[in-house]
């Protein structure tokens, strides 16, 4: 059997294994028995190709289910959820870039230790904490002590009664966060308290090289953000920070709403569109500097890798990076990868890292459904729209927007209870501006580090592009039946 | 894959440049003087736009909505404020200024210095840190009687040096800056922060009569019933009164008594909770 087929089957069964275990709760022992049975049968009928496939399938099914099982903690005294609605003292490390909101800094603590009558004992699970915005600094990698009544995250009531409530718990679970602390009684980013005696300074030094590198990457990101903030007005800078740095919280609520109504929300998720564009940009730029094609390829991929890490490596960006990297590499070695395998490989890598994403990460689901839709339906739709002229790429854009939505639309309807009818038009009007916006946006944040006048000028130009996007979104969201509420 | 079509790219850039140029021309031709009482919910944020690129921001409101308003009302190319005024330290006046300091270049800051370093909260500390970082010049209200703003004159009324009323509550309502803004060939506006009865009596007792007389009064303390005593209002005798207040706020501002008092005097009442941003054109 061809190796790409073997990969296809293994990966597919791995995904099915994770999916099955996510949906149905069963004792993994039975699956083990089943896999064993498959193994025995396969050995008996080894000569037949089908039986070898069966073995392969059974093994990866089991592996997938086991991977998810390993990520699901048990409700014992080691599990943070066991302490729900109790006042506890915890020490943990900030495990990702703190999220700056208007009134708080939202931090996620991992590697938690619980103060159990003077004894520090490790507990499983992560906790989200609303830390005060001023007075203390909270950075990635810091150790933080809290005393808090911890809660299970629930649903957040929608302000608009027509809207569906947001299942915050579901969303957080995909990130491994099982508890929240909305109002800590005490919080100390220096980690030392009378109760939890530990040497904080030595812990800081324990940051590994990789963690320290990541800290520097985040500092760079902050600098980029400052360049955007200093050169653009609030609404415009928010949109740009979301689109090129992944700060999605910066977008003002009314604009977010307009994007949802017009089906443009995907433009603020950094995904295949941006990643391929940046890859091509870097490649051309490095070519201008006189690098060979091989060197440009590796260097641009390296930069892109750090970029994806910097923006937080969320599912859509990571998926796009993995796929474009493997695809470009396969072209380089002269064995073009099959599209299906590319998608599966990206999914397998992301799910090996976080198997919960399949079930709980909306971004993951939407991103993969969009790419599946593109793959299957874009050629078909292109055929249907023969009558549309392909001047200014109108036909291909139309086919692209529609095909990307085939699978995502039902999911969006399920999660948000809203379907945008005007999305094709809105996308047709907005998509062509994105390459220009991204290019100038990156030029601005880079030039801001060395030549602030240039950044300022580019910022002025950017305002107009951003205004155009906002104008389209707000105008089209006013159209009757722009979106329908389910 | 070829992403760039350089020709189209350059055409777009040129079109954008033309757009930018015409925008600036438009802005330049349509410069206007205006006073804006931003609707920032329960809090104060007042923006004075004077001729010659001369902007003043008085307080910042309780959140970042002031930034959104500044983005809308300031020309794109202008990333600086000539003067920022902090009337007192309460968060519904201070909070928004923090992000403004981060995003805009602020040249001067006017505040009451005598008790500034008392009752330091985390937000206030951040405020001072940012001022230090920005190297903005701090002007102390108690040392000033007048401040020339090119096309306007700022007349400082309260607090004065060794202010006993302020010392009782450093940074609190009664240590709010009270000043009159006389726009050249325009209106006189009295800004009062959050002063209450005590401070009003102190002002009446220590100032020459007539200094308070203004066309527009920013009603002190969001129209709270502990402010704007009859004598004070009579001294100001404004034509219009602006109440900067949030819809359905938990304090019950503005109080009915204050509204009635203004109505009896025949003062036109403008409320941010009813009208949104209040724009007074010169």
Q: CB A463 to CB B76 under 8 A?
A: yes
Could you read off the pLDDT of A303-360 as tens digits, one per residue?
A: 999 999 999 888 889 999 999 898 888 888 888 888 888 899 999 999 998 888 888 8
Q: Is the pLDDT of residue B212 over 80?
A: yes
**Average pLDDT, stretch A67-74?**
79
Q: Which of A86-90, A152-156, A339-343 has the lowest mean pLDDT?
A: A152-156
Calpha distance B190→B241 (Å, rounded): 10
Between the alpha carbon of residue A259 and those of residues A156, A401, A420, A483, B1, the distances in Å are: 21, 15, 10, 11, 29
Could you read off the pLDDT of B9-62 as tens digits, one per residue?
A: 778 778 877 887 787 777 766 667 889 999 998 999 999 988 777 899 999 999
Q: Which residue has the higher pLDDT, A193 or B79?
A: B79
Identify the band that residue A466 occupies on the pLDDT scale cut at 50, 70 and 90: very high
**Average pLDDT, stretch A404-418?**
87
**Chain B positions in Cβ-Cβ contact with residue A464 (cut-off 8 Å):** 16, 19-20, 23
Could you read off the pLDDT of B118-154 as tens digits, one per residue?
A: 778 888 888 999 999 988 999 998 888 889 988 889 9
| pLDDT (0 to 100) of residue A190 | 63
**Chain A positions in Cβ-Cβ contact with residue B98 (cut-off 8 Å):** 134
Q: Is the pLDDT of residue A194 over 70?
A: no
Distance of residue B202 Cα from the nearest chain A Cα, in angstroms: 35
**Average pLDDT, stretch A374-382?**
88
Q: CB B125 to CB A134 under 8 A?
A: yes
Q: What is the secondary structure of A422-464 as a DSSP string?
A: SHHHHHHHHTTHHHHHHHHHHHHHHHHHH-HHHHHHHHHHHHH
Nearest CA in chain A to B80: A230
| pLDDT (0 to 100) of residue A315 | 87
| pLDDT (0 to 100) of residue A221 | 93
Calpha distance A218→A215 (Å, rounded): 5
Nearest CA in chain A to B72: A233
Q: CB B125 to CB A280 under 8 A?
A: no
Residues of A with CB under 8 A from a CB of B: 102-103, 132, 134-136, 226, 229-231, 233-237, 252, 276-277, 280-281, 284, 435-436, 439, 456, 460-461, 463-465
Q: CB B20 to CB A461 under 8 A?
A: yes
**Chain B positions in Cβ-Cβ contact with residue A237 (cut-off 8 Å):** 103
Q: Which residue has the higher pLDDT, A389 or B73?
A: B73
| pLDDT (0 to 100) of residue A201 | 45
Q: Is the pLDDT of residue A41 over 60?
A: yes
**Chain B positions in Cβ-Cβ contact with residue A235 (cut-off 8 Å):** 68, 71
Q: CB A464 to CB B19 under 8 A?
A: yes
| pLDDT (0 to 100) of residue A1 | 61
**Chain B positions in Cβ-Cβ contact with residue A393 (cut-off 8 Å):** none
| pLDDT (0 to 100) of residue B37 | 93
| pLDDT (0 to 100) of residue A239 | 93
| pLDDT (0 to 100) of residue A476 | 93
| pLDDT (0 to 100) of residue A350 | 92
| pLDDT (0 to 100) of residue B5 | 65
Q: CB B16 to CB A230 under 8 A?
A: no
Q: Give the one of A134, A235, A435 whose C-beta lies nearest to B71's C-beta.
A: A235
Identify the band that residue A162 occupies on the pLDDT scale cut at 50, 70 and 90: low
Could you read off the pLDDT of A440-462 as tens digits, one per residue?
A: 999 999 999 898 889 998 998 89
**Average pLDDT, stretch A108-112?**
91
Average pLDDT value for chain A: 85
Could you read off the pLDDT of A240-251 as tens digits, one per residue?
A: 999 999 998 888
ipTM greater than cut 0.85: no
| pLDDT (0 to 100) of residue B239 | 93
Q: Which of A48-52, A343-347, A364-368, A417-421 has the lowest mean pLDDT?
A: A48-52
**Average pLDDT, stretch A68-81?**
78
Q: Establish if B9 touches chain A: CB-CB under 8 angstroms.
A: yes
Q: Establish if B1 touches chain A: CB-CB under 8 angstroms.
A: yes
Q: Is the pLDDT of residue B191 over 90?
A: yes
| pLDDT (0 to 100) of residue B131 | 92
pTM here is: 0.84
Q: Establish if B213 touches chain A: CB-CB under 8 angstroms.
A: no
Please answer whether residues A222 and A246 qualify as being in contact, where contact means their C-beta atoms are separated by less than 8 angstroms.
Answer: no
Ramachandran angles phi, psi of A34, nearest 5°: -60, -45
Q: Where are the beta strands (DSSP E) in A168-314?
A: 177-181, 186-188
**Average pLDDT, stretch B90-108?**
92
Q: CB B71 to CB A233 under 8 A?
A: yes
| pLDDT (0 to 100) of residue A192 | 44
**Average pLDDT, stretch B85-98?**
92
- CA torsion B87→B90→B92→B94, rounded to 10°? 60
Q: CB B102 to CB A233 under 8 A?
A: no
Q: Establish if B63 touches chain A: CB-CB under 8 angstroms.
A: yes
Nearest CA in chain A to B11: A436
Q: Where are the beta strands (DSSP E) in B59-199?
A: 80-85, 105-111, 137-140, 146-148, 152-158, 178-183, 188-191
Q: Is the pLDDT of residue A180 over 80?
A: yes
Between the alpha carbon of residue A452 and those of residues A228, B51, B211, the distances in Å are: 11, 27, 45
**Average pLDDT, stretch B253-282?**
90
Q: Give the one of B1, B68, B102 whose C-beta lies nearest to A229's C-beta.
A: B102
Distance of residue A76 Cα from the nearest chain B Cα, in angstroms: 39
| pLDDT (0 to 100) of residue B33 | 83
Q: What is the secondary structure of A158-190 as a DSSP string?
A: -SSTTSPPEEHHHHHHTTTEEEEESS-SEEETT
> Chain B interface, mutation test: which of A444, A460, A467, most B Cβ atoms within 10 Å?
A460
| Percentage with pLDDT > 90 across chain B | 40
**Chain A positions in Cβ-Cβ contact with residue B126 (cut-off 8 Å):** 134-135
């Amino acid at each position: 059997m061809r190796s790409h087929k073997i990969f296809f089957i293994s990966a597919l069964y791995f995904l099915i294994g994770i999916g099955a275990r996510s949906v149905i709760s069963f004792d993994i022992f039975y699956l083990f028995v089943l896999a064993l049975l498959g193994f025995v049968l396969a050995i008996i009928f080894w000569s037949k190709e089908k039986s070898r496939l069966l073995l392969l399938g059974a093994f990866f099914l089991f592996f997938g289910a086991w991977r998810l099982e390993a990520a699901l903690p048990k409700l014992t005294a080691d599990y943070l959820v066991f302490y729900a609605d109790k006042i506890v003292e915890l020490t943990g490390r900030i495990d990702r870039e703190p999220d700056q909101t208007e009134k708080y800094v939202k931090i996620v603590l991992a590697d938690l230790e619980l103060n159990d009558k003077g004894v520090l004992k490790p507990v499983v699970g992560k906790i989200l904490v609303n830390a005060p915005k001023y007075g203390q600094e909270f950075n990635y990698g810091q150790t933080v002590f809290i005393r808090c009544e911890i809660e299970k995250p629930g649903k957040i009531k929608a302000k608009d009664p027509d809207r569906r409530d947001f299942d915050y718990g579901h969303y957080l679970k995909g990130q491994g966060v099982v508890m929240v602390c909305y109002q800590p009684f005490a919080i100390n980013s220096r980690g030392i308290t009378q109760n939890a005696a530990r040497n904080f300074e030595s812990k800081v030094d324990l940051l590994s090289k990789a963690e320290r590198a990541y800290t520097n990457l985040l500092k760079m990101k902050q600098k980029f953000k400052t360049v955007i903030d200093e050169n653009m007005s609030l609404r415009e800078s928010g949109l740009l920070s979301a689109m090129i740095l992944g700060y999605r919280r910066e977008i003002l609520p009314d604009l977010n709403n307009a994007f949802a109504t017009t089906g443009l929300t995907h433009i603020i998720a950094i995904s295949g569109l941006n990643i391929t564009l940046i890859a091509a940009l870097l490649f051309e730029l490095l070519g201008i500097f006189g690098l060979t094609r091989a060197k440009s390829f590796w260097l641009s991929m390296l930069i892109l890798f750090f970029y994806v890490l910097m923006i937080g490596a969320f599912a859509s960006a990571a998926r796009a990076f993995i796929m474009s990297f493997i695809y470009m590499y396969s072209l380089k070695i002269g064995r073009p990868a099959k599209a299906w395998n590319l998608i599966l490989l990206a999914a397998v890598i992301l799910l090996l890292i976080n198997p919960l994403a399949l079930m709980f990460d909306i971004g993951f689901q939407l991103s993969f459904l969009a790419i599946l839709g593109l793959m299957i339906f874009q050629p078909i739709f292109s055929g249907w729209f023969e009558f549309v002229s392909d001047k200014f790429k109108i036909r291909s854009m139309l086919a692209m927007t529609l095909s990307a939505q085939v699978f995502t639309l039902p999911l969006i309807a399920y999660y948000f209870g809203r379907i945008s009818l005007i999305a094709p038009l809105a996308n047709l009007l907005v998509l062509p501006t994105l390459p220009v916006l991204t290019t100038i946006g990156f030029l601005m944040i880079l030039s801001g580090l060395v030549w602030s006048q240039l950044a300022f000028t580019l910022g002025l130009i950017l305002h107009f592009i951003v205004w155009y996007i906002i104008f389209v979104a707000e105008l089209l969201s006013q159209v009757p039946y722009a979106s329908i509420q389910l | 894959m070829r992403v760039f079509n350089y020709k189209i790219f350059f055409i777009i850039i040129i079109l954008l440049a033309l757009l930018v140029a015409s925008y600036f021309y438009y802005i330049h031709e349509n410069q206007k003087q205006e006073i804006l009482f931003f609707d920032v919910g329960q809090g104060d944020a007042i923006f004075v736009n004077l001729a010659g690129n001369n902007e003043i921001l008085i307080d910042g409101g309780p959140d970042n909505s002031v930034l959104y308003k500044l983005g809308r009302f300031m020309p794109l190319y202008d990333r600086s404020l000539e003067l920022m005024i902090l009337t007192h330290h309460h968060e519904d006046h201070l909070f928004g200024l923090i992000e403004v300091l981060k995003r805009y270049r602020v040249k001067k800051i006017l505040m009451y210095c005598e008790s500034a370093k008392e009752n330091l909260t985390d937000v206030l500390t951040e405020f001072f840190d940012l001022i230090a970082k920005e190297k903005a010049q701090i002007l102390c209200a108690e040392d000033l009687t007048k401040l020339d703003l090119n096309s306007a004159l700022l007349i400082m009324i309260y607090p004065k040096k060794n202010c006993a009323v302020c010392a009782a509550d450093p940074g609190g309502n009664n240590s709010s800056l009270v000043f009159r803004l006389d726009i050249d060939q325009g209106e006189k506006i009295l800004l009062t922060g959050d002063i209450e009865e005590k401070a009003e009596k102190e002002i009446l007792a220590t100032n020459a009569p007539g200094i308070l007389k203004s066309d527009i009064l920013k009603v002190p303390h969001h129209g709270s019933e502990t402010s704007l005593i009859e004598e004070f209002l009579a001294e100001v005798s404004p034509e219009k009164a602006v109440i900067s207040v949030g819809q359905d706020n938990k304090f019950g501002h503005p109080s009915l008594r204050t509204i009635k008092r203004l109505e009896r005097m025949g003062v036109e009442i403008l409320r941010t909770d009813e009208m949104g941003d209040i724009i007074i054109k010169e």
